[in-house]
Amino acid sequence: MMIGVLAVQGAFIEHIQALRALGAPCIELRQKADVEQELTGLVLPGGESTVQGKLLRDLDMYAALKEKIQQGLPVLATCAGMILLAEHLSNDDKVHFATMPITVKRNAYGRQLGSFHTQADFAGLGSVPMTFIRAPYIESAGAGVKVLAEVDGRIVAARYGDQLALAFHPELDLDKSMAIHKYFLAMCEK
């Protein structure tokens, strides 16, 4: 078991803390050589998707990671990470990995509602805490995408094969059950 956590920008440390607390070894992915290692799972953290997308290309990590995702490497993508996976962005022309057939709206809650905390049902896990920070949401999901959670009628979590995309930040609720990180590790153990 080795979980690669993209560590070019954003909230990657919190994911590493959560995964290590659950006993999963992690490595930070900072350069091409890191990506070429054997991985059992991949975390794409929150942050700024435009910056992450640029750094992925500048650091020559983009193609190798995209190939691993397409080959079925389990992915936990939060917030900006979800934007990286989306095949379409409704308010941005530039897509990144584009491996998940979802249309995502960036900064979808507007400025004032950009950050909020709530609690909502997540398929199979019951009620989980959800922290949103300048969050996107999924406007529409294509064939084969399973919706896992909605808040106010908007899709905030979905799964497509082994790609798990969340609009919120489970790594910021570490005092809680870490239910979503456990769910992801179960995907990696299969």
| Footprint on this chain of ligand GLN (rule: CB under 6 A) | 46-49, 79-80, 83, 106-107, 133-134
Cβ distance to ligand GLN smaller for residue 38 or 59: 59
CB of 7 to ligand GLN, least distance (A): 14
Supply the Cα-derived Rg of the chain in whole angstroms: 15
Q: How far is CA 131 from CA 67, 105, 180, in A?
A: 30, 17, 13
Distance CA 66, CA 63 (A): 5
As beta bridge partners, residue 95 has none
> Looking at beta carbons only, is 37 or 115 nearer to ligand GLN?
115
Residue 169 among the catalytic residues: yes
The number of residues making up the chain comes to 190
In order, the DSSP letters of 127-154 are EEEEEEES--EEEEE-TTPEEEEEETTE
Query: How far is residue 11 CA from its own chain's centroid?
Result: 11
Assess whether 48 carries a catalytic annotation: no
44: alpha, beta or left? (left if phi > 0; alpha if psi -120 to 50): beta
Say which of 14, 15, 26, 79 is annotated catalytic. 79
Q: Which is nearer to ligand GLN, 30 or 134 (CB)?
A: 134
Min CB(80)–ligand GLN separation in Å = 3
Measured from the CB of residue 109, what is the shortest distance to ligand GLN in angstroms? 10
Q: Which is nearer to ligand GLN, 4 or 46 (CB)?
A: 46
Tell me the two tokens of residue 144: 């084969």
Please pick, among 14, 171, 181, 188, the residue that the annotation labels catalytic. Answer: 171
In the complex, minimum distance from the CB of residue 145 to ligand GLN, in angstroms, rounded to a whole number: 20
User: Out of 15, 96, 169, 181, which one is annotated catalytic?
Assistant: 169
Say whether 38 is catalytic.
Answer: no
By annotation, the residues acting in catalysis are 79, 169, 171
